[in-house]
Amino acid sequence: MTSDQPPAIDVVVTIDPDAVSVVTGLREAGMQVRETLTSAGVVTGSAAPDALAALRAVDGVQAVEPSRDVSIPPPEAPLQ
């Protein structure tokens, strides 16, 4: 059985650390919260691509961005 839903993507949400109900609002808007770093103003998790607008509309959310992978070559790698 296949789903018509696109696969969830990893997202990083920047929040106002003083907003008390942001994480609850993100969950209600469709985000699967993985980690909450309220003192840093960051929440990580995943959501369907079509839920990003709803996440941005949550009171206290400052930004919603797809998560990005960063890799650093080993020290002995040639300069690029």
| The pLDDT of residue 38 | 81
More confident residue, 34 or 1: 34
Spatial CB neighbours of 77, under 8 Å, sequence gap ≥ 6: none
| The pLDDT of residue 1 | 44
Structural domains for the chain = 9-66 (3.30.70.80)
Quick one: tokens of 38? 């309220």
- ∠ at Cα 31 (2, 19), nearest 5°? 170
pTM for the whole thing?
A: 0.77
